[in-house]
Structure 1
Amino acid sequence: MTRARSRAVAALVRLRGDDTGGAVVEFVGLAVVLLLPLVYLVVVLGEVQAGAYAVEAAARSAARAYTGAASPEQSAGAARAAVSLALSDHGFAVDPDAVTQVSCEASPCLSPEARVSVRVHLDVDLPGVPALLAGVAPVQVPVEAESVAVVDRFVPGAS
């Protein structure tokens, strides 16, 4: 009885085919299913972090440029140029006027020891998400930073 059973099992194994290489196929399939979302998550987090670094650098540079300018006319242009340069250095091409908000504690803005606050807001596009999904899923992540700078006490031309 055992001999007949052994032959039956051997015949069944031959009919099913060889199992060699099955683990490799399963491993590759499972790796693709698990690693692709993980790689996408790393790419998305990298893009959002790049946006956070960009707005932080832009806000800090714009506040320093604004308070270091000699006149109010030059201060707006200096802040705009600083935001544009900082964002383009990080790979974001946007209009600096659309993402920058400057507010002053004193009037006039460049009076000695006045605090100038610059807020930069940027919507970071998620990579690989088509715009068609805008109504269903978020396709952008908003990041913003604010920096406050103080106008020097000894401003040239101030009384």
Structure 2
Amino acid sequence: MTATERRRNDDGSASLEFLTAGLILLVPVVYLIVSLGIVQSYTFAAQAAARHVARAIATATDATHAETRADAITRAIAGEYGMTPEEFALSVECSGTGPCPQAGQIVRVTVITDAVLPLVPPVFGLDGLARVPIEATAVQRIPRFWGSS
């Protein structure tokens, strides 16, 4: 067999090798992009929920109104980001003594959620490992005349 004959036997294999290697490399890159998009979406949702709930509590007229507004905002933000309100763990803390919220206090809202990575089967607990914990915190001062109107 001459060199020319050997070269003819390899004709067309470069494109096949390129397609095979390209697909092998492309699939993980696409999965990474999709996973990062999901994590970013959950991060934005947690940050928005913490910020808007803290602001809603600080601008409410009383504690009952603050709780109602916080629930409504949590539902709205969860819906906007394609989540359910149950995916958020919302924590509200106030500085100082007395009931929370109260005039003059600083309210701290913390939102905790988990971004679930796609295409991970619930076998051997892998779905529990394929979660990225996300936490966002916002702080807002409650006005001195809060609740007096």
TM-score range, shorter chain: 0.7 to 0.9
Does the 8 Å contact 1:55/1:143 carry over to 2?
yes
Equivalent residues in 2 for 1:33-48, closer than 5 Å: 33-48=24-39
- 2:113 is the counterpart of 1:131: no
**Which of 1 and 2 has higher RCO (CA within 8 Å, sep 6+)?**
2
SS of structure 1 residue aligned to 2:143: coil
Does the 8 Å contact 1:130/1:139 carry over to 2?
no
Aligned with 1:100 (options 83, 90, 94): 90
Question: How many residue pairs were aligned?
Answer: 148
Shift of 1:87: 2.0
Equivalent residues in 2 for 1:72-87, closer than 5 Å: 72-87=63-78
Give the aligned partner of residue 71 of structure 1: 62
Q: For the aligned residues, what is the CA RMSD?
A: 2.3
Give the aligned partner of residue 24 of structure 1: 15
Does the 8 Å contact 1:84/1:95 carry over to 2?
no
Name the amino acid aligned to 2:65: Q
**Structure 2 residues not aligned, in runs of 5+:** none
| Percent identity of paired positions between Structure 1 and Structure 2 | 34
1: CA distance between counterparts of 2:41 and 2:83?
9
**Structure 1 residues not aligned, in runs of 5+:** 1-7
Does the 8 Å contact 1:121/1:145 carry over to 2?
yes
Shift of 1:120: 0.5
Distance change >3 Å, CA 71–CA 137, structure 1 → 2: closer
Distance change >3 Å, CA 81–CA 45, structure 1 → 2: same
Shift of 1:51: 0.6
Does the 8 Å contact 1:133/1:139 carry over to 2?
no
Q: Higher mean Cα deviation, 139-148 or 149-158?
A: 149-158
